[in-house]
Amino acid sequence: MKRIFDGEIYELIVQNGSLVFPYCKSSNESAVCVSYKMISDENKEPTDVAKNIYLLSKFGSNYRSSSELCTNYVLSKTAELQNGLLCLVTDSGAAYLVDQTGMPLWSGDINYKGEVPSDIVSYKNGLWASYSKAGVLIRFNLNTMREELRIGGKSSPFNKPNNIFINGKVATISNAGSNKLINVDLESYIIEEKEEFTESVYAYAEFKNERYVLLESGLYTL
Residue ranges covered by each domain of the chain: 2-221
Identify whether the C-beta of residue 205 lies closer than 8 Å to the C-beta of residue 12. yes
> 159 φ, ψ to 5°?
-135, 100
Fold of 2-221: Neuraminidase (2.120.10)
pLDDT digits (tens, 9 = 90+) for 133-145: 999 999 999 999 9
pLDDT digits (tens, 9 = 90+) for 18-68: 999 999 999 998 889 999 999 998 888 999 999 999 999 999 888 889 999
pLDDT digits (tens, 9 = 90+) for 131-186: 999 999 999 999 999 999 999 977 789 999 999 999 999 999 999 999 999 999 99
Q: Check: pTM over 0.85? Answer yes or no.
A: yes
Contacts of 75 (CB under 8 A, 6+ apart): 10, 91
